[in-house]
Chain A
Amino acid sequence: MSEVIGVIGAGGKARPDSAAESDVILELRHVTKRFPGVVANDDVSLSVRRGEIFALLGENGAGKSTLASMVFGMYEPDEGQLFVRGTETRITSPAEAVALNIGMVHQHFKLVSNYTVAENIVLGDEPLRRVAGVLPWLDMRGAEQRIADLSARYGLEVDPCAVIENLGVSAQQRVEILKMLYRDSEILIFDEPTAMLTPQEIEHLLNIMRNLRREGKTVILITHKLDEIKQVATRCAVLARGKLVDVLEVADTTTAKLAAKMVGYDLALTIEKKSAALDNAPTVLQVDHLTVEDDNKFPVVNDVSFRVRAGEIFAVAGVAGNGQTQLADAIAGLAAVKSGAISLDGVDLTQMTVRQRARAGIAYIPEDRHGMGLILDLPLLQNLGLKSYFHHPFSQRGILQTEAFEHHARRLIDDYDIRAGQGPRTLTRQMSGGNQQKAIVAREVELDSRLLIFVQPTRGLDIGATMAIRRRILDQRDSGKAILLISLELDEVLALADTIGVMYGGRMQKIAPAATMDRYQVGEYMMGARASTSASASTSTNASISPNTPATSAAPATSAAPEASAAPAEVQAGTGTQQG
Chain B
Amino acid sequence: MTKKKPLQLFARLLGNERWQFITIPAFSILCSLVAISVIILLIGKNPLEAFSSLLAGAGWIAKSNYAGGKAAFTDFMDMLDAFTPMLFAALAVTVALKSGLFNIGVAGQMLLSGFIATVAVGYSDLPSVVARPLVLLIGIVVGAAAGALMGWLKDRFNIHEVVSSIMLNYIFQYVISFFIKTRYIDPVSRQSRMAAASARLEITDIKIAGVTTHFPLGLVLALIAAIGIWFLLAKTKTGLELTATGLNAKSARYAGIRTGRTLIIAMGISGALAGLAGVTYYLGSVRSIIPGELTSVGFDSIAVALLGNTHPLGNIASSLLITTLTSGSTYMSSTVGVRQEIASLIVGMILLFSACGGYLKLWVQRATSEQLPDKGSESVHPRTISGQEEQA
Chain A residues engaging chain B, CB cutoff 8 angstroms: 35-38, 40, 59-66, 69, 74-75, 106-108, 191-192, 241-242, 332, 334, 353-355, 358, 364, 366, 368, 371-378, 382, 386-387, 389-390, 395, 398-400, 402, 419-422, 426, 430-433, 435
Contact A66 B369 (CB under 8 A): no
Contact A63 B385 (CB under 8 A): yes
For residue A7, give the distance in angstroms from its CB to the closest CB of chain B. 20
For residue B266, give the distance in angstroms from its CB to the closest CB of chain A. 16
**For residues 223 through 251 of chain B, which have their beta carbon under 8 Å from a beta carbon of chain A?**
235-240, 243-244, 247-248, 250-251
Q: Is there a chain A Cβ closer than 8 Å to B2's Cβ?
A: no
Expressed in whole angstroms, the Cα–Cα distance for A106 and B379 within the complex equals 13
Contact B252 A435 (CB under 8 A): no
Contact A371 B250 (CB under 8 A): yes
Work out how many contacts link A and B, with CB atoms closer than 8 A: 143
Pairs A–B under 8 Å by Cβ, sample size 19:
A35-B369, A35-B371, A37-B386, A38-B386, A59-B388, A61-B384, A61-B385, A63-B385, A241-B389, A242-B385, A354-B254, A355-B256, A355-B258, A372-B250, A378-B247, A386-B244, A400-B236, A400-B239, A431-B383
Expressed in whole angstroms, the Cα–Cα distance for A35 and B366 within the complex equals 12
For residue B269, give the distance in angstroms from its CB to the closest CB of chain A. 14
Known: A241-B389, A242-B385, A372-B250. 10 other contacts (CB 8 A): A37-B386, A40-B382, A61-B384, A61-B388, A355-B257, A377-B247, A398-B237, A399-B237, A419-B390, A435-B384
For residue B186, give the distance in angstroms from its CB to the closest CB of chain A. 46
Contact A382 B377 (CB under 8 A): no
Expressed in whole angstroms, the Cα–Cα distance for A399 and B391 within the complex equals 37
Specify the main secondary structure of chain A where it touches its partner.
loop
Expressed in whole angstroms, the Cα–Cα distance for A430 and B372 within the complex equals 13
**Set of chain A residues within 8 Å of B387, measured between Cβ atoms:** 61, 419-421, 432, 435
Contact B256 A37 (CB under 8 A): no
For residue A27, give the distance in angstroms from its CB to the closest CB of chain B. 22
**Set of chain B residues within 8 Å of A37, measured between Cβ atoms:** 382, 386
Contact B255 A432 (CB under 8 A): no
Contact B383 A430 (CB under 8 A): yes
Expressed in whole angstroms, the Cα–Cα distance for A360 and B372 within the complex equals 45
Q: Is there a chain A Cβ closer than 8 Å to B375's Cβ?
A: yes
Contact B256 A106 (CB under 8 A): no
**Set of chain B residues within 8 Å of A375, measured between Cβ atoms:** 244, 247-248, 251-252
Tell me the nearest residue of chain A to B392, going by C-beta. A241
Specify the main secondary structure of chain B where it touches its partner.
helix
Tell me the nearest residue of chain B to A332, going by C-beta. B254
Given known pairs A36-B382, A38-B382, the reply for A400 and B235 (CB within 8 Å) is yes
Given known pairs A35-B369, A371-B251, A375-B251, the reply for A433 and B378 (CB within 8 Å) is yes
**Set of chain A residues within 8 Å of B382, measured between Cβ atoms:** 35-38, 40, 421
Contact B376 A40 (CB under 8 A): no
**Set of chain B residues within 8 Å of A106, measured between Cβ atoms:** 376-377
Q: CB < 8 Å: which of A354, A373, A399 contacts B256?
A: A354
Contact A432 B251 (CB under 8 A): no
**Set of chain B residues within 8 Å of A69, measured between Cβ atoms:** 375, 377, 380
Expressed in whole angstroms, the Cα–Cα distance for A62 and B387 within the complex equals 11
Expressed in whole angstroms, the Cα–Cα distance for A462 and B257 within the complex equals 32
For residue A358, give the distance in angstroms from its CB to the closest CB of chain B. 5
Q: CB < 8 Å: which of A59, A64, A366, A430 contacts B381?
A: A430
**Top 10 nearest A-B pairs by Cβ distance?**
A355-B256, A419-B387, A421-B383, A61-B388, A35-B382, A432-B384, A65-B377, A38-B385, A106-B376, A108-B376
Expressed in whole angstroms, the Cα–Cα distance for A106 and B256 within the complex equals 34
Q: CB < 8 Å: which of B255, B256, B372, B391 contacts A419?
A: B391
**For residues 338 through 354 of chain B, which have their beta carbon under 8 Å from a beta carbon of chain A?**
none
Contact B237 A400 (CB under 8 A): yes
Contact A107 B377 (CB under 8 A): yes
Contact B240 A389 (CB under 8 A): yes
Contact A65 B380 (CB under 8 A): yes
For residue A381, give the distance in angstroms from its CB to the closest CB of chain B. 11
For residue A25, give the distance in angstroms from its CB to the closest CB of chain B. 23
**Set of chain B residues within 8 Å of A373, measured between Cβ atoms:** 251, 254
Given known pairs A60-B379, A374-B251, A375-B252, the reply for A389 and B237 (CB within 8 Å) is yes
Q: Is there a chain A Cβ closer than 8 Å to B253's Cβ?
A: yes
Q: CB < 8 Å: which of B238, B250, B376 contacts A398?
A: B238
**Set of chain A residues within 8 Å of B253, measured between Cβ atoms:** 334, 354
**Set of chain B residues within 8 Å of A421, measured between Cβ atoms:** 382-384, 386-387
**Set of chain A residues within 8 Å of B378, measured between Cβ atoms:** 431-433
Contact A40 B254 (CB under 8 A): no
Given known pairs A65-B379, A65-B380, A420-B387, the reply for A395 and B237 (CB within 8 Å) is yes
**Set of chain B residues within 8 Å of A242, measured between Cβ atoms:** 385
Expressed in whole angstroms, the Cα–Cα distance for A402 and B236 within the complex equals 10
Contact A36 B392 (CB under 8 A): no
**Set of chain B residues within 8 Å of A430, measured between Cβ atoms:** 381, 383
Contact A399 B379 (CB under 8 A): no
Contact B237 A378 (CB under 8 A): no
For residue A50, give the distance in angstroms from its CB to the closest CB of chain B. 26
Expressed in whole angstroms, the Cα–Cα distance for A372 and B256 within the complex equals 11
Contact A372 B237 (CB under 8 A): no
Contact A38 B389 (CB under 8 A): yes
Contact B237 A371 (CB under 8 A): no
For residue B62, give the distance in angstroms from its CB to the closest CB of chain A. 46
Tell me the nearest residue of chain B to A358, going by C-beta. B256
**Set of chain A residues within 8 Å of B240, measured between Cβ atoms:** 382, 389, 400
Contact B254 A107 (CB under 8 A): no
Expressed in whole angstroms, the Cα–Cα distance for A191 and B391 within the complex equals 24
Given known pairs A241-B392, A398-B238, A432-B384, the reply for A372 and B379 (CB within 8 Å) is no
Tell me the nearest residue of chain A to B234, going by C-beta. A400
**Set of chain A residues within 8 Å of B247, measured between Cβ atoms:** 375-378
Contact B243 A378 (CB under 8 A): yes
Expressed in whole angstroms, the Cα–Cα distance for A242 and B385 within the complex equals 9
Expressed in whole angstroms, the Cα–Cα distance for A375 and B249 within the complex equals 9
**Set of chain A residues within 8 Å of B256, measured between Cβ atoms:** 353-355, 358, 387, 390
Expressed in whole angstroms, the Cα–Cα distance for A373 and B238 within the complex equals 20
Contact A74 B251 (CB under 8 A): no
**Set of chain B residues within 8 Å of A107, measured between Cβ atoms:** 376-377
Q: CB < 8 Å: which of A61, A334, A353, A400 contacts B379?
A: A61
Contact B237 A66 (CB under 8 A): no
**Set of chain B residues within 8 Å of A364, measured between Cβ atoms:** 254
